[in-house]
Amino acid sequence: MEQVDVAIVGAGPVGAALAALLVPGGRSVRVLEARSQPSRDARTLALSQASREVLEDAGGWPETGVTPIADIHVSQKGGPGRTLITAAEQGLDALGYTVSYAALESVLEARLAAVGAGVSWGTPCEAIELGERSARIALAGGGAVEARLLVLADGGANARRIPGLSYAEKDYGQVAITGPVRTDKPHRGRAYERFTPRGPVALLPVGDRFALVWTATPAEAQRLLTLEDAAFLSELQAHFGDRAGRFVAAGPRASFPLKLRTINSTIALRTVIAGNAAQAMHPIAGQGLNIGLRDAGALAAILAADPSGDPGAGAVLEAYRRTRRRDAGRGVAFTDFLVGAFMDDRRLPTWARGLALTVLDVLPPARRWLAGRMIHGAPAS
């Protein structure tokens, strides 16, 4: 049976970035991926400067196809208040960057191949056996890998196999419709987040167009997905308004059901649970992968502090849990609060939301605090 220091289940961006961070430090790593080839997932991701730094350390920052976000315009439909958070005010070149999931996947895959830690495609983890000295991962179709540390970065597919681990889930009853759209005005690096009673709508600058994330009920989403482009654009215009210009073109649309899912512990015997496998959240504030990459960066830093130490030792696991608890917990709470506050008048009435946006607009320190948290997350303690 193959024996490695670290087995990573899942070659999504979190698992792949973690592997790319660990291999140059001398750890033997095996990445096991269920899919037979890269996903070519169409979603666009907004990544913070902190995520860029993790990916640069991993050698997985895409050199092309990245669009800087100069500012973010936040508003609510049917109510007062708006605010503009700018990179200049934060003393930054960009508040963040947009990149496609597929581009990130392919840069990380190339990086892993270059450092000799190729992904084992088409090898789903089928069973997990945890022991005091190692974790044993049985693969579909036969074969097994033994690792001193198992990292589940599989979006939540396998943690339930581990005794004591369980998820809490909340179905938002919403679906995100994504796809490229074009307006008749240049975006100049501006992203838009518009809260509406039917859910948030975001426009992210990508190249010379926008990536749309439009949240709707499942029935509404089904209808919107099947509309002709012209009818879709006209509904989008009516829903979003004209602050980004007139919508003139739309590309292929995809849809993603939205749930909040959190695990009861991010560690188990010889195991770390990272990225969406630990916390999967609403894309409303673009936090999911940013938090997942901070999971990967934190674990890599803990392991690098003792390069020849046992990567699955109890002290390592506990250090990881302690380091990540606050940031991940606050990211989940913030995202969940935004979903409720901007959609449910009983939780926060329209005037109070307007007031919150106005306070942000007139108080630069409040904007700076919020932007800082979204870029770097919450400190460990």
Ligand X SMILES: Cc1cc2nc3c(=O)[nH]c(=O)nc-3n(C[C@H](O)[C@H](O)[C@H](O)COP(=O)(O)OP(=O)(O)OC[C@H]3O[C@@H](n4cnc5c(N)ncnc54)[C@H](O)[C@@H]3O)c2cc1C
Q: Which residues bind ligand X (CB under 6 A)?
A: 9-15, 32-35, 43, 45-46, 124-125, 153-155, 157-158, 176, 178, 213, 256, 275-276, 283, 286-290, 292
The DSSP string of 170-236 is EEEEEEEEEEEEEESS--TTEEEEEE-TT--EEEEEETTEEEEEEEE-HHHHHHHHHS-HHHHHHHH
**9 or 112: whose CB is closer to ligand X?**
9
**143 or 349: whose CB is closer to ligand X?**
143
Residue 87 region by backbone torsions, left for phi larger than 0, else alpha for psi between -120 and 50, else beta: alpha
Instruction: Evaluate the CA torsion angle 371, 376, 377, 381 in order and state its sign.
Output: negative
Q: Which two tokens stand for residue 106?
A: 């392919």
Nearest-CB residue to ligand X?
12
Q: What's the closest the beta carbon of residue 105 comes to ligand X, in angstroms?
A: 8
Give the other-Cβ count within 10 Å of 188's Cβ.
Answer: 8
CA 140, chain centre distance (Å):
28
Q: What's the closest the beta carbon of residue 350 comes to ligand X, in angstroms?
A: 26
Tell me the CA end-to-end span of the chain in Å, nearest whole number: 41
Helix (H) or strand (E) holding 145: strand 144-152
Q: What's the closest the beta carbon of residue 77 comes to ligand X, in angstroms?
A: 20
Instruction: Evaluate the CA torsion angle 175, 178, 184, 186 in order and state its sign.
Output: positive
Q: What's the closest the beta carbon of residue 316 comes to ligand X, in angstroms?
A: 20
**90 or 215: whose CB is closer to ligand X?**
215
**29 or 79: whose CB is closer to ligand X?**
29
Q: What's the closest the beta carbon of residue 184 comes to ligand X, in angstroms?
A: 25
Could you tell me which residues come within 8 angstroms of residue 171 by beta carbon, excluding any fewer than 6 positions away? 257, 259
As a whole number of angstroms, the distance between CA 195 and CA 79 comes to 10
DSSP H helices, the chain, are: 13-22, 49-57, 87-90, 101-114, 218-226, 229-240, 288-304, 314-341, 350-362, 364-376
Residue 183 region by backbone torsions, left for phi larger than 0, else alpha for psi between -120 and 50, else beta: beta
**81 or 277: whose CB is closer to ligand X?**
277
Q: What's the closest the beta carbon of residue 365 comes to ligand X, in angstroms?
A: 25
Q: What's the closest the beta carbon of residue 290 comes to ligand X, in angstroms?
A: 4
DSSP H helices, 83-142, are: 87-90, 101-114
**12 or 311: whose CB is closer to ligand X?**
12
Q: What's the closest the beta carbon of residue 40 comes to ligand X, in angstroms?
A: 11
Q: What's the closest the beta carbon of residue 13 comes to ligand X, in angstroms?
A: 5
**51 or 134: whose CB is closer to ligand X?**
51
**43 or 198: whose CB is closer to ligand X?**
43
Q: What's the closest the beta carbon of residue 309 comes to ligand X, in angstroms?
A: 25
As a whole number of angstroms, the distance between CA 279 and CA 167 comes to 9
Instruction: Evaluate the CA torsion angle 37, 38, 40, 43 in order and state its sign.
Output: positive
**46 or 181: whose CB is closer to ligand X?**
46
Helix (H, G, I), strand (E, B) or coil at 268: strand
**155 or 205: whose CB is closer to ligand X?**
155
